[in-house]
Structure 1
Amino acid sequence: MPEIDTSPDNGRGGWVPYLYYPSVPAAGIFVALFTICAAVHIFRLFKYKGWYFIPFIIGIIFEAIGYVGRIGSHYNFNSLGFFIMQSLLILLAPALFAASIYMTLSRIAIALHAEQFLVIRARWLTTFFVTGDVLSFLAQSSGGGLMAGGKPDSAKLGQKVITGGLFIQIFFFCGFIIIATIFHRRLSTSPSHAIEKVKGRKYIWTMYAANGLILIRSMFRVIEYIMPHDGPLLANEAYLYVFDATLMFIVVALYIVVKPYGDLFDEWKRRKDAGGLELTRR
């Protein structure tokens, strides 16, 4: 591979999209993994009609296309199109995962006849956290656009904007985990909800695991973007695959093993159809 020119005379004031040539085998593996997972989730989406998981599936598709962009960057190193593709799609996919995960807690609570244990009314819970997720999404996407401008000054500003968006994401993640933990504790200590506690256990722990993995990934990204463009995390591709690609694949795989549909969510739909929004106003 030719040496990467980071001198001020390289035509972009010293800025380069990468400090390495993206690995084709590594990207190819995750293109295949995310594509297979997307196919499984899409099949189940239409089979079980779990439409609230559409953002999650779009996130999986973002991941797959993002790693295609990294393959394109390997063969066309200076292409801003491939750089923007991989940068934005891989960056934004977890925000879409989060949007669907935020919707699961109120559904679990209603399905278990335990919405009274929520700190925030079920009807407002999803709205509150998805709104925060949208704010994070918008901030990260605008920051990614600035970073893709190909100029050192805009890249630095873009890093700051992305960092702000990631802090918003972390703030809402932490708040969601606290509310979910309070709900779980109240459900577990309620003597009249012993059966519901057992029914909801795997869904609640899957939600914890997914949130924890996305939180670790977001913290990694914050540290990455706080550092300069030539910092060790951005300069070493391995960190991306360990703390982003692998963690996000585990999140996607978790919701294949523990389906976000099935009997529990059939009960949520039955109660919703029977009582409408009155179910969530208690």
Structure 2
Amino acid sequence: MQSFSMILTRAELLPYKEGIYLWKYVPSLALSIIFLSIFGILSLAHTWRMFQHRLWFCLPFVVGGYLEATGCVGRVIARNDTSGLMPYIIQSIFLLVPPSLFAASIYMVLGRIIRGLGPRAVALSIIRPTWLTKVFVVGDISAFVIQAGGAGMTTSATQKDLGNTTVIVGLCVQIAFFGLFVLAAVIFDVRYRRGRDGFSAVDADTAQLRDGAVAARREPFDWAKLMMMLYATSALILVRCTFRIIEYIMGPEGYLLSNEWPLFVFDLTLMALYSIQSSSHSNFNMDFIKKVAKSGSADKGAGGDQAAAGNQDYADKAFDFASKKSGHNIDRNTQEKITDGGRSAYEKATGSKVSDKISN
């Protein structure tokens, strides 16, 4: 009871060593407890959901949530121990590195979205889904290690400047890889939105051609909604990392590190929103993506080679269907009439005129 009373009443800014202060302010107990509760509850909920649906690729995301909660614990302890080195180290490192783990989960989600849409979608990605995950996760791990090492050095009076520079480098590496990832996601999104009409119009396997009418192809899950979620969570991480870079560039005497509110507004609040947004996914959608990704044929071994070959064959089939409309209305496989939709959909998906292809 006495120790609890001390937590509530004591709020002194004390030096770590003579003339050396780790903190520029006394950490807020109320805000630290609020965010500790948010991340703790969300992490427990995500853990239950991960085991319930066997979403093991979400493990980095779940671990990141627990690290955020641990960082908040460090701030709670530091509230009446501003001279203590360990609470400062805990909050410095454990609040800095979790977004790298969050980003790793986002990389894996995109790979599963692409594979869940089938081999044709795989061909539209500028990076094969398995390589997409590996490349960006390796970059993310590099950023994680650099940031963690830099954060550790900032606690040393002799290495503080080097530590700040190292953290900045780690954050820049993270933003660079994350920016490339977002670019890859946007390119896939645009290509698939253009190409799915063509898939519906010319796919003899999944669309039925009856009396010149083409039945629409249905995606197996709401991929567009998941992509919007991916963009929203990516924006939160990019804003947070940009804030952290500015914070460390300004240095320990700068406004951002000398005041507490920017950390809660531009870091903890954004990461809490990320966790809440991620938990709003449809369990069905995420479970479906996991199952399709585990099927293996779209991206692994000989199956991957067959899928790639099938994709090329599909492109040839699309042109074949569309070109027949320009002069030959009967397809040798379906013996059905191809509408103008086949030709226009192919041109929209590829940006090439059918007549140009025929002339060649």
Name the TM-score, length of structure 2 as normaliser.
0.72
What residue in structure 1 maps to residue 153 of structure 2? 146
1 CA distance for matches of 2:168 and 2:258? 18
Query: Which residue does 1:72 correspond to in 2?
Result: 77
Give the direction of change, closer, same or farther, for the CA distance of 1:124–1:238 in structure 2 (3 Å limit): same
Look up the match of 1:121.
128
Counterparts of 1:14-53 in structure 2, within 5 Å, are 14-53=19-58
Structure 1 gap segments, 5+ residues each: none
Matching residue's letter, 2:296: K
Residue of structure 1 in register with 2:60 after alignment: 55
Kindly indicate whether the alpha-carbon contact (under 8 Å) linking 1:110 and 1:279 is maintained by their aligned counterparts in 2.
Answer: no
What is the Cα deviation at residue 197 of structure 1? 9.0
Partner of 1:231: 254
| Superposition pairs of residues 267-282 of structure 1, within 5 angstroms | 267-269=292-294, 271-272=295-296, 276-281=300-305, 282=308
Residue in structure 1 matching 2:241, options 214, 218, 221: 218
Per the TM alignment, residue 265 of structure 1 is displaced from its structure 2 partner at its CA by 3.0
CA distance in 2, matches of 1:107, 1:65: 30
Give 2:178's aligned residue.
173
- Relative CO higher for 1 or 2, CA cutoff 8 Å, sep ≥ 6? 1
Measure how far apart 1:87 and its partner are: 0.5
Bigger Cα displacement from structure 2, 256-265 vs 184-193:
256-265
Q: CA deviation at 1:274?
A: 8.8
Counterpart of 2:101?
A: 96
Structure 2 residue matching 1:272: 3-state secondary structure? coil
Cα distance in 1 between the residues matched to 2:250 and 2:14: 20
Over aligned residues, Cα RMSD in angstroms?
2.0
Q: Which has the larger radius of gyration?
A: 2
Deviation at 1:105, TM superposition (A): 1.1
Amino acid at match of 1:257: S
Q: Deviations over 1:156-199 (max 9, x none)?
A: 11110000000000000100000000000011111116633972
Distance 1:278 1:108, change over 3 A: farther
Match of residue 267 from structure 2: 244
Q: Is the 8 A contact 1:199 1:264 kept in 2?
A: no
Residues 73/171 of structure 1: CA separation in 2 closer, same or farther (3 Å cut): same
Question: Is 1:59–1:96's contact at 8 Å kept on the other side of the alignment?
Answer: yes
Q: Does 1:11 align with 2:17?
A: yes
The aligned length equals: 275
Match of residue 262 from structure 1: 287
Q: Distance between the aligned counterparts of 1:158 and 1:27, measured in 2?
A: 25
Cα displacement string for residues 10-29 of structure 1 (whole angstroms, at most 9, x for unaligned residues): 735x4321100000000000
Query: Per-residue deviation at 1:136?
Result: 0.3
How much has 1:148 moved relative to structure 2?
1.7
Show the counterpart of 1:162: 167
1:76-102 superposed Cα distances (whole Å, 9 cap, x missing partner):
111110000010000011011111111
Note the residue ranges of structure 2 that are not aligned, 5 or more in a row. Answer: 1-9, 201-216, 309-360
Q: Once the two structures are superposed, what CA deviation does each residue of 1:219-253 show, in whole Å capped at 9, x if it has no partner?
A: 00000000120110001100000000000011111
Secondary structure of the 2:60 match is helix
Aligned-partner residue type, residue 106 of structure 1: G
Aligned counterparts of 1:259 and 1:197: Cα–Cα separation in 2: 13
Whole-angstrom distance in 1 between the partners of 2:273 and 2:298: 36
Are 2:133 and 1:110 aligned? no
Distance in 2 (CA, whole Å) between partners of 1:28 and 1:280 is 49
1:253 to 240, 260, 276: 276
Per the alignment, residue 185 of structure 1 pairs with 190
Tell me which residue corresponds to 2:357: none
Cα deviation for residue 254 of structure 1 reads: 0.9
Is 2:156 the counterpart of 1:131?
Answer: no
